[in-house]
Each structure stands twice: as structure tokens, then as C-alpha cells.
Amino acid sequence: MEQAFNSEFYAKLRSLRMSIALSNAAGMSGGRKSKAKGNSVEFSDFREYMLGDDIRRIDWNAYGRFDKLFIKLFMEEKEGLFHVILDASRSMDYGEKNKAVAAKRLAGALSYIVLENGDRLFLDIMKDGQMEMHRGMTGMQAFRKSIEFLDRIEFDATGDFLSSLKRGNFKQSGMSFFISDGYCENLEEVFKYLRFCHQEVVFLHVLSPEERDPVFEGTVQMVDCETGADIRMSMSGSVLRSYKKTYEDFIRNIEATCKKHSVIYIPISSDASVDSLLYGSLSKLATNN
Amino acid sequence: MKVLYFWPLALLALVPVIIFMYLLKQKAEKKEVPSLFLWKETYHNVEANTPWEKLKKNWLMILQIILFLILILALMGPYLLNLGRSTDHVVIVVDNSGSMNTAYEGEKTRFDRAVSEAVDYVKGLKNGTGISVISSSDEAVLVVTSTEDKDEAVKKIKAIEPTYKSGNASAGVEMVKTMQSQWPSLTTVCFTDSNVEMESLNGYIVDVYKEKENIGINYLSHGYSGEKLVILAKVTNYGKMENAREITLYGDDKILTSQSVSFAPGESKIVYFDKVNFKGKVLRAELNGNDALEYDNACYDVLSESKQVNVLLMTEKNAYIEKALELMEGITVTKSNDIASFDSFVTQNFDLYIFDCMMPANFPQQGNVIIFDAPNKDLYSSKGVIDGALVEAKEHPVTQYIDEMDFGAIDVTAYVTPAWGEPFLTADTDEGVLDVAFTGDLNGQTITVFGFDLHNSELPLKMEFPLLMYNIINANVSTGILKENVISVGDGIQINGKADMKLPSVMKPDETQIDLSDYRIMYTGTDQIGVYTVKQELNSVEGEEEVFAVNFPSSESFVEILASDNQNEQTDVKKSASADLDLKNIIIVLILLLLGVEWIAYLRR
């Protein structure tokens, strides 16, 4: 398999500056606006003084004008919480231009953006219905750790996304980047669950060209690399056309599901160059911003 | 639609083999996919279209089975009736001349091709059509006349044998022209390799010619250089490629010498064999190796023993003797009435001298002599002259078969037959039976003496006269049984048997013996290539034997004017008798189209 984090990746990464929109930051004190009122310098609102309020916050100018005590409220600034959720099932390890490599690069690039923006990063790896998590990381010094963690991932598991996610830590609202090939019966349940956990969801759908346009001839016994199940089919023009239609329906369904649950859908082809991955695919996040 | 053959139906047994091969072909290749998630759905979609999809999946196999069935149909030789074959009477002319022995394809000759085409044609005729079959080479033979039984016609066509004779279908066409008056609407189909002018005849030529490489020996000849032979063979390369061949010369079946010669396309070469020491009878030159026509690869020559006999006839005027001599083969007659200059003639050493009512001063010392009514005191003496007498033949070798003959004559000289002579004509007179003609050997010379002038006798008017003359001259000179010794197949050869021996017989190359019915006969049974032996027995011990050789006619080694060169617009030339109604070609085109469809389908898969 190709090296995911090579010199080209790092070279491109250095020039990557992107701010990801997050409507509701809920982490510790940080650089993002939050719904909470706090101690930042940014004015938010006035309200009448209630017993127990800090008298230092009374706006004496207002008292002089209205003869009533008003308290000045300020914005609380918090850090954003970002989850990069990676599907480490065996099906991701496929294609001449391997999907796993593309997925790792995406995860690495997202880690860089998140950490560079001063937000908190969680790396969650879905494996056999379990969730392998890296504790929250902040600051650019944590980037190296995140890369090391990503680099170690083996794509050899079976995929049961919902079970894995239920074992994840989504107590606070934030944003989840869900990186997968989407071969899952209950993808809608996955999105519903994440939304339920107050997550803004971005689905990075990674597929290889071989899946898009399979080149098969004669009679083929196709074996599922995850389950070992097989199907025997005689490949003909009509069979391949039927597959193509099924594939297109599959993409359309996912797009519709994403739209329904306000999930940002970003299709990724595993043969895309590093440039295309970082500036083409992820730029949709910035545009959204 | 009808078919010619049913045997291809047996090939239907191979249809399951195609299906079995398709089953074998469907061995699945194992491929790993990331997930069957999409494939399962595709599988269900495809399955949902069953059974049409199943059929579609195997339509290439079905197409191949259809192709195979059509191929079987093509092999069965289907044809449509009533498409140009509707005619009341058909005459089939099969050329069986020598050139038809040339290879056509593989082991098959042009003749084989002609027969098979003719058979196909007959099978395709409408029932009730009158069929006549003619074989044609140098002569036409009517094999069957106006039969409506197609099986019989086919049998007769198959029974025609190829010959080595020269000729083509022209003789057959001439015969058809005579038949035309009987069946004005007849159709003529000529199966031949060369052009034939059909003129007013309705019909066409089926051309069985195919360009092939052939080298042939045109002739073999010999001459003498001292005691040794100089032999020449003319060899022609009729092909379009350069060719090198070895020519071997055999003498009485033993190898004498050989030469390697190369030929440019179309080149003729004279090949010389110098100073060949051979004392036998038969020479044979043979080209080694094979070509399209094997029969012109050997050629015979015979070293002739028969010689030309030179006769000097000294007479004032005697048409009887001249006519009698003319009838004999191998005789060259020199005539003179100048007995005074006889001495100058003698120097030419004639084989036979005939003195008619005159006698030279110096009797020739060599050569045989026949004397009509002339005295010679040195050789014989007379008893006197009979005014008129009835002359009778006496039993003697020269009067064999004519010993019953008698005739009248005047001024007949009776002789005292000398000791060396034997009388063969006598006259019954008052003085008894007197010898009036005798013959005998004297010092190696055969001398025959007649005691009367032919003009003064009835002898020339007798039908036995030519035979008597022939017997006498034969007794005096030997002309040989055969005048020529090398001929071509089909040519006649004159056999001049000697009347004083038994009837001659001919031994053919295949050793069948033909007993001839007469002494002098034009023998035409020269249908085999090789050496023929003519025998004539005197008795069980003695006899004479001569050989002649029959060669393949060089005119048959190649076809001068091809049927395809036919300039007559009315004469149609085809390559196959059934081309215009044969469905085979249409079916083959159909097969090719289907193959194209299969190919495109295969690529699209």
C-alpha cells in the first residue's frame, strides 16, 4: 500500500489554511463564539440586575439614564470540538489507488486544520462494532501524535458503524467528519444518531474507480472481502450496465439521506491527487463557511 | 428446395458438444470485491429479468448452434428447383481427353471434378427430364440416350473413364448438334477444361480448368553418331514458376543416364544425351518428381529395325506393277526405261530390281531381282513360247492362300526351272505341265522370273494379283511389320503382317493380347501409354516380333484456349454447374454475416 503521509502530503499541508464553520462551540475556553455568556471582550446583551449578580458588571451609565440597574453581558468564547470518525473496515483497503490511503490523508488533513484553528480534535476509529479513540487533542504540538495514531491504523475490521458510534464520546456538541465507503445498511441511522448527539456531520464518501467502473469479463465469482460471502455472475454488457445503475442509485440515495439530515456530503475518489483532496474536496467545508 | 446429400445430418450429433464446450467455458474466475452490497442488488436486478436474461446470457451459444445448423444445411448442398433447370431434355458432355487427367485439387483431377459436377447437376434436375450423356475426347461416345432415370444417368456418368487421348468436348458438341433436330429445346452442358464453340446450342460450359504447375516431355528422338546414340528430348515447362527437374533416360527399363535441367516459366528446352551406348529396343525418358499431370512425365522412343526398301523398276510402261508396289508400305520405287544406263543405277545398291520385258547387259550382283518376260542365258533357259495358255498357281510360299488361282495368257515362255529355283506358276499344255514362273535363291540373291508380259495376261485383272505381288516382293525383301514405331494415344498404327506367317497379334502394355483378324490392319486400340509388341509366328518356334511405343499426346499437356477465353457472348462459361441456383453460396454469406454479428457481440461483452 502506498505511504499515506509522504513528503508531498506534508508539503501541501503547510499551505493549507482553512476555517471550518461551527455554529455551536461547546468545548473549553477557546477562540470560537459560543451561546454561553462569559468573560470575553465582545458585548452580547443587557439585562436587569438580579440579586447575586456581580455588581462590577452593572452599567452605571445606563443606571444614570434610566434609573434602573442593568447588567452588561459579554460573549463566552469556547473551542470547537471536532471528531474525525474513520471507517477501518476491510472494504476500505481496496483499489489500485487505495481507499484507505485516501481516507488517512483526509483524516490527517482535517486534523491539521482543526488543530491549527485551535480547536479540540478527537480521532475515532470504527472497528468491528467497537470504537478506538484518541483522547482530545489541542494545539499544533498534538498534530504529530494524531498522524502517528492514524498511521498505525490497520484496515482489517468488519463494519458495524452504529454499534461503534454508540461507544463513542459525543457528550458535547461539535462537528463530526465521517470518513467511510458507506457500505452499510443503516447509514441513515448513523447520521440520525450523530445528529442526535448534537453533531454537525460531514460525510466524506471515499470510493475507488474500480467500484465506479468495474472491469470484469466472463463468469466471475465475486467474494466479499469482509464477510467472505460470494456471488457468481456471468458478466455481460447488460450486467455491468445494471451495476452502474445500482451504483448511481446508491450515490443518489446517500446524497438524499445527507440532505434530509443536514449532513454535508463530499464524494471522494481514491485516485484523486493530494492537491485535489486538500483543495478540491475539503474546500467545500470552507465554502460552507 | 431440395438437397443433394443427407450425410451432413450425422453432424447434428455434434450440437451437444458445443453446449458442453460452453459449460466448460463458464468456469468462474475468483475476484475479491470490497463489498457485495451493490453486486447483490445488481444480481437481483438481473435475476428479475429471467428467463429473458438467462437466454441473453447464452445467446452467443445459441448463435453458434444456429451457425452450426446452417453449416450442416450448406453441406447438404441445398438448391432450388425450377431455377433455370426446367428443360425437357439435357445433354451432358463430359470431356475425358488426356488433359482432363491434370490435377484439379488435392488428389482430384479435372476429370473427377467434371464427373462430380455433372453428377450434382443431374441430381438437381427436375424429375422427368430426358438426360443424354456423351463422353468426348478425339471421338464422341454416346453413353446414355434420353433416360429419365436420374440414377441411371448418374451411374453412367460415374462409369465414364478418363482417357489419354487428345481432343476436347468439341466432338461431343458436334454429336449434340445432330441430336438437336430430335429435341429442339435441348440444353447442353459441357464439362471441360478447354474452350468449345457451342454456337447455336442452348447451354453452357462448366469450366473445370485450374492453373497448376506442369512439366512435360513433348517428344523423344534419336540419331546415330557412329555406333553410339545421340538422343534428344524436348521438355516444356507449362507452369508459371521456375522449375528444376531431373530427366532420366532408360534403355529397356535400365537407367542409362540422367540430367538435371531447370526451366523458366513457359520455357521449352531440348535436352541432349550424347554418346549413349545402347543396343536394345526401347528408350524411355522420364522426369523425376511429381507435377499436376503425371502422364506427360515419361516419353518413349523405339530404335526401329525396319528399313526402307529401295526398288528399281526398269520398264517401258507397266501400271500394274507400279500399282502393286504403291500398295506396299516401306517401299521407295525408282522407275526407269533406260536399260542402257542400268550400270549407273546399280551403283546405288537397290534392294530389289524389277526388269519388265528388258534385261541389262550386266546382271546386278547384289540385291534381289524380279524378271518379267526377259531372257537371261546365264541364269535360266527357255523351253519355248506358248501362244496361249491357262496359267495356274502352284502350291508355294508365294502363292499361299491363292493356290487356286488361274488365268489366261498369251506368248508365255516356258522355262526349264534351274536347280536353285522352284516353280510357282505352271501352264497346262499339250506338252504337259510347263513351268512359266519360278523363284529361288542364287548366291544370296532371290531371283523370281515370270515367263509372260503382264500386259499379255489376265493376271493383273485377278483379285489375287496384289496378294501375289505382295507375297513375291515380301519374299524378295523384308519391309517389316510396322512402318512407324512411335505414336500418340488414340492414333492408329498400320500393321503389315506377312502373308506367309500366321495372323499377327498385339501385346498391350498391360500384357493383354489382341489377336488381329487380318494381316494388314490399321490398329487403333492404342488406349494405353507404353510399349506394345506386335508378334507374328511362322510356326511354334519361329516368328517375328516388333515393338512400337505409344506416348501421351503432347497437345494434352496444356490447354491452348481456355473456356474462360470464350469470345462467344451466347456461350455461358461457369465454374460450377449449379452455381445459379445453388443455395450454398447464399448460406455461406449468411454464415459469414452471423459470424460478424457474433464477433461484434463478443467485443461488446
Residues B342 and B454 occupy one common structural domain: yes
A226 in contact with B, Cβ within 8 Å: yes
Torsion over CA: B347, B350, B352, B353 (sign): negative
Among B118, B119, B117, B125, smallest CA distance to B86 is for: B125
Domain membership flag for residue A222: no
A251 in contact with B, Cβ within 8 Å: no
Per the listing, cell 502363292 goes with B399
Q: Is B39 within 8 Å of A219 when comparing Cβ atoms?
A: no
- Compute CA distances B515 → B486, B502, B508, B509, B538, whole Å: 21, 10, 11, 15, 15
- Compute CA distances B414 → A278, B151, B385, B390, B419, whole Å: 152, 76, 6, 12, 15
Q: Is A91 within 8 Å of B36 when comparing Cβ atoms?
A: no
Domain membership flag for residue B59: yes
Q: Find out whether A155 and A225 touch, Cβ atoms under 8 Å.
A: no
The DSSP secondary structure of B392-448, one letter per residue, reads EE-SSGGGTT-TT-EEEEEEEEEEE--TTEEEEEEEEETTEEEEEEEEEEETTEEEE
For residue B331, what is the enclosing H or E element? strand B331-336
Domain membership flag for residue B481: no
A225 in contact with B, Cβ within 8 Å: yes
The CATH number of residue A275's host domain is 3.40.50.410
- What region, left, alpha or beta, does residue B502 occupy, with left being phi > 0 and alpha being psi -120 to 50 degrees? beta
C-alpha cell at B205: 460450359
Domain end residue (candidates: B476, B497, B531)? B476
pLDDT over 50 (residue B138) = yes
pLDDT over 90 (residue B250) = yes
Which SS3 state, helix, strand or coil, does residue A98 take? coil
Q: Which residues of A touch B36 (CB under 8 A)?
A: 222, 224, 227, 229-231
Per the listing, cell 425437357 goes with B88
Residues B363 and B507 occupy one common structural domain: no
End-to-end Cα spacing for chain A: 34
Q: Which residues of A touch B46 (CB under 8 A)?
A: 233, 238-239, 242
Q: How far is CA B259 from the centre of its chain?
A: 28
Q: Is A183 within 8 Å of B41 when comparing Cβ atoms?
A: no
Q: Is B38 within 8 Å of A245 when comparing Cβ atoms?
A: no
What percent of chain B has pLDDT above 90? 25
Q: Is A221 within 8 Å of B31 when comparing Cβ atoms?
A: yes
Domain end residue (candidates: B418, B449, B476)? B476
Residues B379 and B465 occupy one common structural domain: yes
Q: Is B57 within 8 Å of A236 when comparing Cβ atoms?
A: yes
Residues A20 and A43 occupy one common structural domain: no
* Arithmetic mean of pLDDT over chain B: 84
Query: Which residue on chain B is closest to A219 by alpha carbon?
Result: B28
Residue B257: strand pairing partners: B249
Alpha-carbon torsion angle A245, A246, A247, A248, nearest 10: 50
Residues A67 and A86 occupy one common structural domain: no
Domain membership flag for residue B563: no
pLDDT over 90 (residue B445) = no
- What region, left, alpha or beta, does residue A27 occupy, with left being phi > 0 and alpha being psi -120 to 50 degrees? beta
Q: Is A181 within 8 Å of B40 when comparing Cβ atoms?
A: no
Domain tally, chain A: 2
Residues A147 and A262 occupy one common structural domain: yes
Domain tally, chain B: 5
What percent of chain B has pLDDT above 70? 91
Q: Is B161 exposed, middle or buried (0-12, 13-18, 19+ CB in 10 A)?
A: exposed
Domain membership flag for residue A56: yes
pLDDT of the residue at A288: 47
Phi, psi of A134 (to 5 degrees): -110, 135
Domain membership flag for residue B561: no
Per the model's pLDDT, the better-predicted residue between B49 and A59 turns out to be A59
Q: Is B46 within 8 Å of A238 when comparing Cβ atoms?
A: yes
Q: Is B28 within 8 Å of A232 when comparing Cβ atoms?
A: yes
Residues B337 and B250 occupy one common structural domain: no
Domain membership flag for residue B54: yes
Select the highest-mean-pLDDT range: A18-27, A46-55, B43-52, B424-433: B424-433
Select the residue from A242, A248, A249, A253 to test the B interface by mutation, using most B Cβ atoms within 10 A: A242
Size of interface A-B (CB pairs under 8 A): 91
The CA angle B485-B486-B492, to the nearest 5 degrees, is: 90
- Compute CA distances B74 → A7, B69, B246, B590, whole Å: 70, 9, 45, 10
Q: Find out whether B468 and B448 touch, Cβ atoms under 8 Å.
A: no
Per the listing, cell 470504527 goes with A126
Sequence-distant (6+) residues with CB within 8 A of B540 are none
pLDDT of the residue at B120: 85
The CATH number of residue B128's host domain is 3.40.50.410
| Amino acid type, A73 | L
Select the residue from B23, B26, B39 to test the A interface by mutation, using most A Cβ atoms within 10 A: B39
Residues B356 and B503 occupy one common structural domain: no
Q: Which residues of A touch B31 (CB under 8 A)?
A: 216, 220-223
Distance CA B317, CA B313 (A): 10
Q: How far is B288 from chain A (nearest CA, A)?
A: 57
Which SS3 state, helix, strand or coil, does residue B303 take? coil
Q: How far is CA B478 from the centre of its chain?
A: 30
Residues B249 and B127 occupy one common structural domain: no
Distance CA B312, CA B370 (A): 10
C-alpha cell at B424: 510357282
The CATH number of residue B349's host domain is 3.40.50.880
Burial pattern B260-294, b for ≥16 Cβ within 10 A else e, equals ebebeeeeeeebebeebebeebbbbbbbeeebbbb
Domain end residue (candidates: B272, B298, B324)? B298
Residues of chain A with pLDDT under 70: 1, 17-42, 75-77, 286-289
Residues A86 and A114 occupy one common structural domain: yes
* Interface residue ranges in chain B relative to chain A, Cβ cutoff 8 Å: 26-43, 45-46, 53, 56-57, 604-605
Residues A163 and A197 occupy one common structural domain: yes
Q: Find out whether B476 and B537 touch, Cβ atoms under 8 Å.
A: no
Residues A50 and A185 occupy one common structural domain: no
Residues A50 and A103 occupy one common structural domain: no
Domain membership flag for residue A1: no
Residues A188 and A116 occupy one common structural domain: yes
- pLDDT (tens digit per residue) in B377-387: 888 998 889 99
Nearest residue, CB atoms, A225 vs list B28, B33, B46: B33
For residue A92, what is the enclosing H or E element? none
ipTM for this prediction: 0.79
Among B463, B541, B568, smallest CA distance to B204 is for: B568
Confidence of residue B249 (pLDDT cuts 50, 70, 90): very high
Per the listing, cell 506534508 goes with A10
Query: Which residue on chain A is closest to B37 by alpha carbon?
Result: A183
Select the residue from B22, B24, B27, B36 to test the A interface by mutation, using most A Cβ atoms within 10 A: B36
A253 in contact with B, Cβ within 8 Å: no
Q: Pairing state of beta strands B309-314 and B406-416? A: unpaired
DSSP strand E in B100-242: where? 103-105, 108-109, 130-136, 140-147, 187-192, 203-207, 215-225, 228-237
C-alpha cell at B133: 450423356
Residues B322 and B258 occupy one common structural domain: no
Residues B124 and B184 occupy one common structural domain: yes
Domain membership flag for residue B387: yes
Q: How far is A27 from chain B (nearest CA, A)?
A: 38
3-state secondary structure B65-121: HHHHHHHHHHHCCEECCCCCCCCCEEEEEEECCHHHHCEEECCEEHHHHHHHHHHHH
Q: Pairing state of beta strands B215-225 and B228-237? A: antiparallel
For residue B300, what is the enclosing H or E element? strand B298-302
Confidence of residue B43 (pLDDT cuts 50, 70, 90): confident
Residues A101 and A206 occupy one common structural domain: yes
Domain membership flag for residue B559: no
Nearest residue, CB atoms, A247 vs list B30, B38, B40: B38
Domain membership flag for residue A64: yes
Residues A112 and A165 occupy one common structural domain: yes
| Amino acid type, A274 | V
Per-residue pLDDT averaged across B144-164, rounded?
91
Sequence-distant (6+) residues with CB within 8 A of B116 are B108
Q: What is the DSSP letter of A229?
A: -
Peptide bond into B360 cis (omega under 30): no
Q: Which residues of B touch A250 (CB under 8 A)?
A: 37-38
Distance CA B67, CA B74 (A): 10
Sequence-distant (6+) residues with CB within 8 A of A42 are A33, A74, A75, A77
- pLDDT (tens digit per residue) in B255-312: 999 999 998 998 888 889 988 888 888 999 999 988 889 899 999 998 876 567 889 9
Q: What is the DSSP letter of A279?
A: I
Residues B316 and B427 occupy one common structural domain: yes
Q: Is B36 within 8 Å of A229 when comparing Cβ atoms?
A: yes
By residue range, what is the domain housing residue B171?
90-209
Nearest residue, CB atoms, A220 vs list B31, B40, B56: B31
pLDDT of the residue at B215: 92
| Amino acid type, A200 | E
Residues B331 and B432 occupy one common structural domain: yes
By residue range, what is the domain housing residue A275?
7-27+79-213+250-288
Domain membership flag for residue A152: yes
Which has the minimum average pLDDT: A195-209, B157-171, B589-603? B589-603
Residues B462 and B339 occupy one common structural domain: yes
Distance CA B59, CA B57 (A): 6
- pLDDT (tens digit per residue) in B554-584: 888 888 777 777 666 667 777 777 645 667 7
Q: Which residues of B touch A91 (CB under 8 A)?
A: 34-35
Q: How far is B69 from chain A (nearest CA, A)?
A: 25
Q: Is A222 within 8 Å of B31 when comparing Cβ atoms?
A: yes
| Amino acid type, B545 | E
pLDDT of the residue at A41: 62
Q: Supply the angle between the helices B584-604 and B59-75 in degrees, to the nearest 10.
A: 160
Domain end residue (candidates: A56, A78, A100)? A78
Distance CA B568, CA B198 (A): 9
Residues A22 and A136 occupy one common structural domain: yes
Residues A138 and A181 occupy one common structural domain: yes
Per the listing, cell 457481440 goes with B601
A215 in contact with B, Cβ within 8 Å: no
The model's pTM is 0.47
C-alpha cell at B275: 554418346
- pLDDT (tens digit per residue) in B447-461: 999 999 998 999 988
Residues B169 and B94 occupy one common structural domain: yes
Q: How far is CA B193 from the centre of its chain?
A: 17
Among B582, B485, B599, smallest CA distance to B76 is for: B582
- pLDDT (tens digit per residue) in B493-531: 888 777 667 888 999 999 999 998 887 788 988 999 999
Nearest residue, CB atoms, B28 vs list A91, A221, A226: A221
Domain membership flag for residue B369: yes
The CATH number of residue B497's host domain is 2.60.40.10
Per the model's pLDDT, the better-predicted residue between B471 and B548 turns out to be B548
Q: Is A231 within 8 Å of B39 when comparing Cβ atoms?
A: yes
C-alpha cell at B393: 498357281
A228 in contact with B, Cβ within 8 Å: no
Per the model's pLDDT, the better-predicted residue between B345 and A108 turns out to be A108
